[in-house]
């Protein structure tokens, strides 16, 4: 996988993950072109399209489009399954994920993606293992907060 983009029906970019080195200018150009192309397609059209020297695989869930760019020899159906698995992980974590969850918890959405994909390849196929890793990270984050608060209150005294 070259990159993954999440954007709204209005064309607002909500998440982007690039697995190939590109300049910011090129990323913006690609994003603009793909968002326009995908949003212009009719709902009954195929979720795969050839674009430049890549294949674009996308799927709409509620008000969000999940869009991936893969190389010509990669499997489109597996990419659709990767998108679906990511949505399932987001649903499990947020309890029926919506666009606002991504907006206000974007760092968690990136973290979940990073636990699932590494370098554009599936790192962990087990939803249970991914969710367990996220839960452990959340516990670590929560454990670190009270200590810093206690330390801050001790310093104030």
- The sign of the CA dihedral 105, 107, 108, 112 is positive
CA dist., res. 113 & res. 81, Å (int):
14
CA dist., res. 27 & res. 7, Å (int):
14
User: What confidence score (pLDDT) does residue 35 get?
Assistant: 97
CATH fold of the domain at 3-156: Beta-Lactamase (3.30.450)
pTM of the model: 0.85
CA dist., res. 134 & res. 154, Å (int):
31
Q: What is the DSSP letter of 124?
A: -
- Three-state DSSP class for 77? helix
Nearest to 117 by CA among 154, 68, 74: 68
Q: What is the mean pLDDT of the chain?
A: 89
The mean pLDDT of 16-35, rounded to a whole number, is: 96
Confidence of residue 119 (pLDDT cuts 50, 70, 90): confident
Nearest to 133 by CA among 106, 146, 114: 114
- Three-state DSSP class for 132? helix
The domain ranges of the chain are: 3-156
The pLDDT tens digits of the residues spanning 32-85 come to 999 999 999 998 999 999 999 999 999 999 999 999 999 999 999 999 999 999
């Amino acid at each position: 996988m070259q990159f993954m983009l999440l954007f709204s029906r209005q064309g607002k970019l909500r998440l982007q993950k690039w697995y190939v080195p590109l300049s910011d200018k090129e990323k913006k150009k690609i994003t603009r072109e793909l968002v326009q192309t995908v949003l212009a397609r009719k709902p009954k059209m195929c979720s795969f399209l050839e674009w430049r020297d890549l294949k674009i695989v996308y799927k709409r869930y509620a008000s969000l489009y999940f869009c991936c760019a893969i190389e010509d020899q990669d499997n489109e159906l597996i990419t659709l399954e990767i998108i679906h698995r990511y949505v399932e992980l987001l649903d499990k974590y947020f309890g029926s994920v919506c666009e606002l969850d991504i907006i206000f918890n974007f760092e968690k959405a990136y973290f979940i993606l990073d636990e699932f994909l590494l370098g554009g390849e599936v790192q962990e196929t087990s939803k249970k293992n991914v969710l367990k890793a996220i839960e452990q990270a959340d516990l670590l984050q929560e454990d670190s907060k009270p200590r810093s608060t206690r330390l801050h209150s001790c310093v104030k005294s």
